[in-house]
């Protein structure tokens, strides 16, 4: 599959949190956008001390790693509003800047909202412009180039994702594809993905019982790996580090409307659990289950990830396949044997 990152990212680096950051602007401003991930195997208590005990542990882990300098030097830090935990992380970072001398890069919030209304579009457009001026000196030509490059990247990832219907790659591998696409410079990733597409065309189907995974998004492969080791195959999901990440293009409109095109793309990016309505999520789940030939639906939910369990009853009703919810899971942990057993029971029922 993909070669791991062997060398550090060249040039200025923008660390970012969440799926809603318009990375095109970062690329156009000369940064390599690097999406920050937490790690379930590291102690996150320093971050938790600031964020409190009731928030998605991913945010606590990211904050811990920021405080410890784990990500290496970051020139700027951009946080989106993709979920409550990201927003609270931003507030803590802003407060750390204000009242402590903890060394942190300059931090900015991009408040992309998602209701399907024109009022929201106008607001998101204002936030895109605010972000652009915060970055300073992003010219239109560079932005147009960045839009083309990121659209191309998303298109490749979509093509790779579509091959999951033929089971050419595992969910764990797909997670790695997206991780690479959002942590390395676009120009470096595109040729890798082209090569991968050629390889996958020849590859025999992966074994395993095909399921659609919903619930919490995964920034670490541990849960995927455990599920797939236990005999499941994640052929689709609705995660912002998976299929949803690649949904929707900016396109290349008149040069005067680039910011609007960015606003509309990020406002209506795929229906992520924390922000989309129950109805949209259920419809999306049903379509994804069908398109990928999933034979089971698993909602895996981390403790303190509050949105997904509310989605589940409607998802189960819409999916038309046996469905199981495992909620309040520890970050990175899953009892895969139990999941398989419950899926079997759901099949029997």
Partner 1 sequence: MTRLPSATAATAHQRRWFAELQAQVAAGAPLALVNADAPQEIFRAMGIPYVVNQWWASIVAAKRRTQDHLARLRERGYPDYTEQYSSTALGSAFDTDPGTAPWGGLPQPSIVLAETTGDASRKIFDVWGEQPGVEFYPLESAAAATVPERWWELMPHRWEEAVGTDRLDLMTGELEGLIRFLEQRTGRRFSEQRFAEVMALVNEQEERNRRTRDLIAAARPCPVAVTDSIPAVMVPQWHRGTGWGRDAARNLHDEVAERIAAGSAVCPGERARLMWVGRGLWFDLDFYQRFQDRYGAVFVWSMYLAIAADGYVRHGDDPLRALAARFAAFSDQLYTPPWSAEWYVKEARSHGVDGVVHLVSDDARGSWATTRALRAAGIPVLELHADNVDARRSDPAYLDGTVGGWLEAEVLPARADA
**Contact between 139 and partner 1 (CB under 8 A)?**
no
- The residue (of 54 and 231) whose beta carbon lies closer to partner 1 is 54
- The residue (of 127 and 168) whose beta carbon lies closer to partner 1 is 127
Q: How many CB atoms lie within 10 A of CB 124?
A: 26
Nearest distance from residue 208's CB to partner 1, in Å?
A: 27
Nearest distance from residue 183's CB to partner 1, in Å?
A: 24
**Contact between 117 and partner 1 (CB under 8 A)?**
yes
3-class secondary-structure state, position 213: strand
- The residue (of 17 and 160) whose beta carbon lies closer to partner 1 is 17
Q: How many CB atoms lie within 10 A of CB 232?
A: 24
- The residue (of 279 and 338) whose beta carbon lies closer to partner 1 is 279
Q: How many CB atoms lie within 10 A of CB 178?
A: 21
List binders of partner 1 among 53-112 (CB under 8 A): 53-54, 81, 83-84, 87-88, 90-92, 94-95, 98-99, 108-111
**Contact between 122 and partner 1 (CB under 8 A)?**
yes
Evaluate whether 36 touches 17 at the Cβ level (below 8 Å): yes
Nearest distance from residue 136's CB to partner 1, in Å?
A: 15
**Contact between 327 and partner 1 (CB under 8 A)?**
yes
Contacts of 254 (CB under 8 A, 6+ apart): none
CA distance 56 to 85: 6
As a dihedral over the C-alpha atoms of residue 67, residue 72, residue 76, residue 81, rounded to 10 degrees, the angle is: -60
Nearest distance from residue 127's CB to partner 1, in Å?
A: 7
- The residue (of 207 and 313) whose beta carbon lies closer to partner 1 is 313
Under the phi-then-psi rule, with left for phi > 0, alpha for psi from -120 to 50, and beta for the rest, what region is 284? alpha
List binders of partner 1 among 265-324 (CB under 8 A): 273-275, 277-279, 304-307, 309-314, 316
**Contact between 232 and partner 1 (CB under 8 A)?**
no
Helices (H) and strands (E) in the chain — how many of each? 14, 8
Residue owning tokens 């945010």? 59
- The residue (of 31 and 90) whose beta carbon lies closer to partner 1 is 90
Contacts of 130 (CB under 8 A, 6+ apart): none
Evaluate whether 297 touches 317 at the Cβ level (below 8 Å): no
Strand partners, 323: 297
> How many residues lie near partner 1 (CB under 8 A)?
54
Cα–Cα separations (whole angstroms), residue 93 to 14, 43, 79, 105, 189: 15, 19, 10, 10, 30
CA distance 65 to 344: 39
Binding residue for partner 1, selected from 113, 165, 222, 230, defined by CB under 8 A: 113
Nearest distance from residue 109's CB to partner 1, in Å?
A: 4
Nearest distance from residue 315's CB to partner 1, in Å?
A: 10
* E-assigned strand segments in the chain: 13-17, 32-35, 76-80, 107-110, 209-215, 232-237, 296-302, 323-329
- The residue (of 125 and 196) whose beta carbon lies closer to partner 1 is 125
Nearest distance from residue 6's CB to partner 1, in Å?
A: 36
Evaluate whether 303 touches 330 at the Cβ level (below 8 Å): yes
- The residue (of 53 and 207) whose beta carbon lies closer to partner 1 is 53
Nearest distance from residue 129's CB to partner 1, in Å?
A: 10
- The residue (of 328 and 341) whose beta carbon lies closer to partner 1 is 328
Nearest distance from residue 285's CB to partner 1, in Å?
A: 14
Evaluate whether 112 touches 20 at the Cβ level (below 8 Å): yes
Binding residues for partner 1, rule: CB under 8 A, are 49-54, 81, 83-84, 87-88, 90-92, 94-95, 98-99, 108-111, 113, 115, 117-120, 122-123, 126-127, 130, 134, 273-275, 277-279, 304-307, 309-314, 316, 325, 327-328
């Amino acid at each position: 599959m993909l070669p791991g990152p062997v060398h550090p990212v060249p040039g200025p680096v923008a660390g970012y949190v969440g799926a809603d950051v318009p990375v095109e602007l970062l690329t156009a401003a000369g940064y390599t956008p690097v999406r920050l991930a937490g790690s379930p195997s590291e102690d996150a208590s320093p971050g938790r001390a600031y964020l409190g005990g009731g928030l998605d542990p991913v945010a606590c882990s990211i904050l811990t790693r920021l405080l410890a300098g784990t990500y290496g030097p970051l020139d700027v830090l951009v946080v989106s509003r993709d979920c409550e935990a990201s927003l609270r992380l931003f507030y803590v970072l802003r407060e750390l800047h204000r009242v402590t001398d903890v060394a942190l890069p300059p931090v900015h919030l991009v408040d992309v909202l998602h209701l399907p209304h024109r009022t929201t579009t106008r607001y998101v457009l204002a936030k895109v412009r605010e972000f652009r001026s915060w970055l300073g000196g992003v010219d239109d030509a560079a932005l147009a180039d960045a839009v083309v490059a990121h659209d191309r990247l998303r298109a490749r990832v979509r093509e790779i994702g579509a091959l999951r219907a033929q089971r050419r790659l595992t969910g764990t591998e797909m997670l790695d594809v997206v991780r690479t696409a959002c942590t390395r410079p676009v120009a470096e990733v595109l040729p890798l993905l082209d090569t991968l597409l050629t390889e996958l065309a020849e590859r025999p189907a992966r074994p395993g019982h095909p399921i659609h995974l919903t619930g919490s998004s995964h920034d670490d492969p541990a849960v995927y790996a455990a599920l797939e080791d236990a005999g499941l195959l994640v052929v689709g999901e609705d995660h912002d580090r998976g299929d949803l990440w690649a949904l929707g293009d900016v396109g290349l409109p008149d040069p005067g409307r680039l910011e609007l095109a960015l606003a509309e793309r990020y406002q209506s990016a795929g229906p992520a659990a924390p922000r989309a309505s129950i109805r949209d999520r259920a419809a999306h789940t049903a379509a994804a289950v069908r398109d990928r030939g999933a034979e089971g639906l698993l909602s895996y939910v981390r403790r303190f990830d509050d949105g997904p369990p509310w989605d589940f009853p409607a998802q189960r009703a819409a999916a038309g396949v046996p469905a199981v919810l495992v909620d309040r899971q520890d970050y990175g942990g899953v009892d895969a044997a139990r999941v398989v057993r419950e899926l079997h029971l759901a099949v029997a029922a």
